[in-house]
């Protein structure tokens, strides 16, 4: 199962209004660490499907959302709960790093 792709148009509805926490991976197609993170993010979608929505925002396509949340480097992973940012990490620390981020919230 693949991560959901969020855009400027649907971010508020799908992320901020979600009844469960949401992990958002801000990425770009040309970013090497983002390419490494992609398959792991997709793998975690299935593992956490009942506890957390996991998705991605392409910073090159969704300038407004990445700008609004001050994403200055990629990958940046942000966890939202009840419409608010609750955790953030920049860079990719492997699967363990992402799992640790998720487990802080669920």
Catalytic sites, residue numbers: 31, 34
Query: 8 and 56 in contact (C-beta within 8 Å)?
Result: no
On the 0-12 / 13-18 / 19+ scale of CB atoms within 10 A, 68 is exposed
Other C-beta atoms within 10 Å of 81: how many?
A: 15
Q: Which residues, at least 6 apart from 23, have a Cβ–Cβ distance to it below 8 Å?
A: 41, 44, 52, 53, 54, 55, 77, 78, 79, 98, 101, 102
CA distance 106 to 49: 12
């Amino acid at each position: 199962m693949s991560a959901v792709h969020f855009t400027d148009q649907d971010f508020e509805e799908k992320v901020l209004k979600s009844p469960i926490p949401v992990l958002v991976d801000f990425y770009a197609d040309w970013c090497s660490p983002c390419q490494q993170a992609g398959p792991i993010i997709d793998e975690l979608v299935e593992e956490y499907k009942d506890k957390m929505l996991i998705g991605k925002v392409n910073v090159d396509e969704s300038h407004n959302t990445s700008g609004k949340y001050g994403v200055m480097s990629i990958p940046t992973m942000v966890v939202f709960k009840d419409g608010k940012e609750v955790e953030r990490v920049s860079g990719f620390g492997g699967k363990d790093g992402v799992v640790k981020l998720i487990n802080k919230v669920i």
